[in-house]
Homo-oligomer: A and B are copies of this chain.
Amino acid sequence: MSKAANTRLNILHKAFELIYTKGYQTTSIDEIIATTQVTKGAFYYHFKTKDEMGVAIIEEILKPTMQEHFIKPTEASQDPIEDFYNMISYLLLEDPFLQVKYGCPVGNLTQEMTPWNTKFSEALAELVDLWKATIINSIEKGKEAGLIRKDVIGEQVAFFILSGYWGIRNFGKLQNDNSSYLVYLKELKGYLNGLK
């Protein structure tokens, strides 16, 4: 990778970490260039505006990460019900990057940016649609394989699972411990088993 491409990626990664923990609006460019050891000139050479950088984070950091961790594994799925549970459980309890205190990066950005910034909305919607479509697809395959009831409606379930995930992330932030996660996961398991 060229040196220039390297500083660009470096900015994106560090900025993403700051934004994940602090929020987008309260993460200043001065703070980003301080932690990246990159000058303002370099920053604005790579990104015209702060928002352009924000969208780049979604497309170049969040999207590939999600593809790799949530989309790909599900495609080779045998038992969707178990996969769904494992996916959420992994995200809540095991993912080494995510922290209870800071919630879900995608959820955070959606909450903060969506009403006022269409560029962010579009980038985030694309991301979430991808995830949703994967779940729906998984359900259809599960129905064919006889693992999921025929009257289950994939879109409904997808919304229900993802909503629950985003919501419980908020509870985690509120309590700053994963006890709410554990309670939630038990009910999720019951709900998912009800789809069989």
Contact = CB atoms under 8 A, between A and B. Distances in A.
Nearest to A108: B111
B115 A174 contact: no
B170 A107 contact: yes
Given A25-B25, A167-B163, A111 B173 contact: yes
Given A170-B166, A173-B110, A115 B21 contact: yes
Contacts of A128: 171, 174
A114 interface: yes
Interface of A: 21-23, 25-26, 101-103, 107-108, 110-112, 114-116, 121, 124-125, 128, 153, 155-157, 159-160, 162-168, 170-171, 173-176, 180, 183-184, 186-188, 190-191, 194
Contacts of A159: 168, 171, 180, 183-184, 187
A163 B171 contact: yes
A2 to B, nearest CB: 35
B107 A111 contact: yes
A23 B117 CA distance: 13
Contacts of A102: 115
Given A163-B167, A170-B163, A187 B112 contact: no
List the 10 shortest-distance A-B pairs measured between CB atoms, nearest first. A163-B167, A166-B167, A167-B167, A156-B187, A163-B168, A114-B173, A160-B187, A111-B111, A159-B184, A163-B164
A159 B163 CA distance: 12
Given A23-B112, A110-B173, A164-B167, 11 more contacts: A21-B115, A25-B25, A103-B111, A107-B167, A121-B174, A159-B168, A160-B164, A162-B171, A166-B166, A191-B194, A194-B194
